[in-house]
Amino acid sequence: MGNTTTHQDIRAFLDRKVDEYNRPSFITDDPISIPRGFVLQQDIEISGFFAAIFSWGNRTTIIKKTRLLMQLMDNAPYQFILQHKEKDLIKLLDFRHRTFNATDLLYFIAFFRHHYTNHASLEEAFLRTPDHLSGFYHYFFSLESAPPRTYKHIATPEKNSSCKRLNMFLRWMVRNDDRGVDFGIWKKIPAARLICPLDVHVARVARRFGLMTRTQTDWQAALELTDYLITLDPSDPVKYDFALFGLGVMEKF
């Protein structure tokens, strides 16, 4: 697109790309394929959360490792988390994914057990602050057993992280467009309030289109990009994640 590209041109082009990538064929090679293998809402939430948190690096490896973890939880993560005995955790002690290890995994399980003992849905954990993420961070690490090393695996706007993985998880749970990719099972967080998942690929495409000017790929950049996407679709700005991700990762734009 040249220097005469208009706002309408950008919207029309990105709308076409959203339509191209926001379809079931997208699922196969994406981490969202993991929660798509479950029916029970809590299983979708838990498996989706792990798939999102593991989402850095090679997507094939992300899917493989998340699927392995689900198998270690007997492909019933909600039941495993609520009903496991100490001896059931032994088989998890060799689990690794990059810098995520068994210490981190055992704390994640402890948090989920604590949360689901008191709440039916993980959505409640994200309703504590207007940005959804700062309150979640503090709540997630509110158990006395929280290991210092595990903090690095959960991002927060308070540290100016782009929070890409958590924003992607929220997109999965909140957006509801009947296209068969995102789940739309959470009803208390409006799609209009979501922040676009921002990584180096999405940021590169966004800057090429002039959708944001910030040079760092951080929380402020995610807000700047989302503010622009709101001008394209105020009710569902994060649908453009499909276009920007597809252009950046699939098409190497």
What residue type is 203 in one-letter code? A
Look at residue 1 in the predicted model and tell me its pLDDT. Answer: 52
| Bridge partners of residue 97, in order along the sequence | 100
Residue closest to 33 by CA, chosen among 67, 82, 84: 67
Output the six-digit token pair for 176: 């509801």
Look at residue 250 in the predicted model and tell me its pLDDT. Answer: 84
Burial label for 95, CB within 10 Å (0-12, 13-18, 19+), is middle
Count the Cβ atoms, other than its own, within 10 Å of residue 209.
18
Ranges of residues in the chain whose predicted pLDDT is under 50: 2
Look at residue 108 in the predicted model and tell me its pLDDT. Answer: 98
Look at residue 4 in the predicted model and tell me its pLDDT. Answer: 60
- C-alpha to C-alpha distance for 205 and 202, rounded to whole angstroms: 5
pLDDT tens by residue, 132-146 = 999 999 999 999 999
